[in-house]
Amino acid sequence: MTFPKEFLWGGAVAANQCEGAYNEDGKGLSIQDVMPHGIKTPHTDMPTEDNMKLIGIDFYHRYPEDIKLLAQMGFKTFRTSIAWSRIFPQGDDLEPNEKGLEFYDRLFDECHKYGIEPLVTLSHYETPLNLAKKYDGWVNRELIAFYERYVRTVFARYKDKVKYWLTFNEINSVLHEPFMSGGIDTPKDQLSKQDLYQAIHHELVASALATKIGHEMMPNAKIGCMVLSMPTYPLTPNPDDVIAVMKADHLNYFFGDVHVRGAYPGYMKRYFKENHIELKMEKEDEQILQNTVDFVSFSYYMSVCETADATKKIKGEGNLMGGIANPYLPASDWGWQIDPQGIRYVLNMFWDRWQKPLFIVENGLGAVDELVDDGQGGKTVKDDYRISYLNDHLVQVGEAIEDGVSVMGYTTWGCIDLVSASTAELKKRYGFIYVDREDDGTGTLARYKKKSFGWYKEIIASNGDGLKK
């Protein structure tokens, strides 16, 4: 059998994309509450009614029903995030909000009721808004202390309920989306490289600190980093293109390299020198960075191409980072190119480089779904396209395992429909469970099982043996 017996099958969401209840039980505003159109338009000053995330899919109130459905599929793990602003509403508060803490107690208890292991992201694109406005997010070193207070609080509270932790979602995406990823309020086009890399340094120190504290407070916990993986292929065999790929890779590998090796790599020192970046480091930073992760987790949606030839830089649509389109690959409804072999490739690259267990914590197809009669008086979605996307990617995960890569688990993105991060739409659906809510705000919020629901249940039950090569 390809997949190890203890393989963690499951699905993933993030608090801000599903919970809703944006101002209930003492929650403060997060940056998402002022991002009504994701990264497509500038953020607003205050929450506006057209922001789908304010209600989300109402997971905050409906989680028992939702967890029960995930349990029916046989989930071994459920990845979600803690909304930082539920726990510390302003981010810089001295005391946590007890009602926020109680919510996650209830949620994690509900998971354990069904033997589902929570996998928790500490910061998933939902920095408290006050930290963005008052401090310019991670540009400011003070964020390290606020994050430390937050992680100590949640580690102490949930140490007996949560074993798997991720420090920052897609930490490398701050290169492209400084507001959403790093709570940096300075507009992207005015943000200097100096400030951007200083912010990155603060996040890397905070991540290593969380790993250190987590290990001290929870000796059995596994703490991982989380990167946005986007394998980059040369557009042509021209050596100039190959070097362009190497440079693009370095800027992404950098984040994993620091998390796994505990120090800045040589190629970044060169990059800093050539770009006149002088990081301000405190004397303890180098030592803190040596607290390396137990595993590396990543999202995978697509691969991209790179070239040194400026005239060929035709941008494809894409995840937060995007890239140059590959002429050999088809694309999703949103123009994200589909490359199942890319997941095998990236698993091998990461394993060869880091020799750390890997966890695929996001993968999936955002598509327009049509709700139809199921012939038994109910409703469903015949999402064969999603089944084939997931099947093909999982087959390649199996290949990577055969290649000798250590893979801990696989959680599909948006296992229940939720609000998209980049476009803030609900019509971009990823789930096995359909949620009746439209982008104009209409809908009953009822849940319906899609065809893929039964498919994934079988795949989990057979530990991957039901996959079609």
- Rule CB under 6 A: say whether 326 interacts with ligand BG6: no
- Rule CB under 6 A: say whether 389 interacts with ligand BG6: no
Q: Among 170, 203, 306, 425, which one carries the catalytic annotation?
A: 170
Q: Is 170 designated active site?
A: yes
**20: alpha, beta or left, given left = phi > 0 and alpha = psi -120 to 50?**
left
- Rule CB under 6 A: say whether 127 interacts with ligand BG6: no
Minimal distance in Å, beta carbon 284 to ligand BG6? Answer: 30
- Rule CB under 6 A: say whether 30 interacts with ligand BG6: no
Q: Is 13 exposed, middle or buried (0-12, 13-18, 19+ CB in 10 A)?
A: buried
Closest CA to 81 of 61, 54, 107, 116: 107
Q: Which residues are CB-contacts of 314 (< 8 A; sequence separation ≥ 6)?
A: 324, 325
Query: Rounded to the nearest 10 degrees, how much is the dihedral formed by the CA atoms of 23, 25, 31, 37?
Result: -40
Q: Which residues, numbered 82-121, are part of the site for ligand BG6 (CB under 6 A)?
A: none
Q: Which is nearer to ligand BG6, 99 or 315 (CB)?
A: 315
CA dist., res. 411 & res. 358, Å (int): 12
Closest CA to 203 of 235, 249, 169, 230: 169
Q: Which is nearer to ligand BG6, 3 or 125 (CB)?
A: 125
Minimal distance in Å, beta carbon 430 to ligand BG6? Answer: 7
Query: By 3-state DSSP, what share of the chain in percent is helix, strand and coil, each rounded to 5?
Result: 40, 15, 45
- Rule CB under 6 A: say whether 53 interacts with ligand BG6: no
CA dist., res. 117 & res. 350, Å (int): 25
SS (H, E, C) 286-324: HHHHCCCCCEEEEEECCCEEECCCHHHCCEECCCCCCEE
- Rule CB under 6 A: say whether 319 interacts with ligand BG6: yes
- Rule CB under 6 A: say whether 136 interacts with ligand BG6: no
Stretch that binds ligand BG6, among 347-355, 367-375, 403-411, 420-428 (CB under 6 A): 420-428
- Rule CB under 6 A: say whether 435 interacts with ligand BG6: no
The token pair that represents 244 in the structure block? 């362009």
Question: Contact with ligand BG6 (CB under 6 A): which of 127, 198, 422, 452?
Answer: 422
Q: Which residues are CB-contacts of 254 (< 8 A; sequence separation ≥ 6)?
A: 172, 264, 265, 267, 268
Minimal distance in Å, beta carbon 11 to ligand BG6? Answer: 12
Q: Which is nearer to ligand BG6, 299 or 391 (CB)?
A: 299
Return the amino acid letter for 170: E
CA–CA distance from 47 to each of 19, 30, 289, 441, 461 (Å)? 16, 10, 37, 15, 43
- Rule CB under 6 A: say whether 362 interacts with ligand BG6: yes
Closest CA to 19 of 48, 65, 57, 52: 57
Stretch that binds ligand BG6, among 26-34, 85-93, 112-120, 414-422 (CB under 6 A): 414-422
Stretch that binds ligand BG6, among 199-207, 284-292, 392-400, 417-425 (CB under 6 A): 417-425
Closest CA to 234 of 333, 309, 322, 122: 309
Q: Among 126, 203, 362, 399, which one carries the catalytic annotation?
A: 362
- Rule CB under 6 A: say whether 222 interacts with ligand BG6: no
Minimal distance in Å, beta carbon 121 to ligand BG6? Answer: 9
Cα within 13 Å of Cα(336), Cβ side: 18
Question: Which residues on neighbouring strands pair with residue 323, listed in sequence order?
Answer: 316
Q: Which residues, numbered 160-189, are part of the site for ligand BG6 (CB under 6 A)?
A: 169-170
- Rule CB under 6 A: say whether 207 interacts with ligand BG6: no
Question: Contact with ligand BG6 (CB under 6 A): which of 204, 421, 459, 460?
Answer: 421
Stretch that binds ligand BG6, among 62-70, 265-273, 415-423, 443-451 (CB under 6 A): 415-423
Question: Contact with ligand BG6 (CB under 6 A): which of 153, 332, 420, 452?
Answer: 420
Give catalytic residues, as residue numbers.
170, 362
* Residue ranges that bind ligand BG6, judged by CB under 6 A: 14, 17, 125, 169-170, 299, 319-320, 362, 366, 413, 420-423, 428
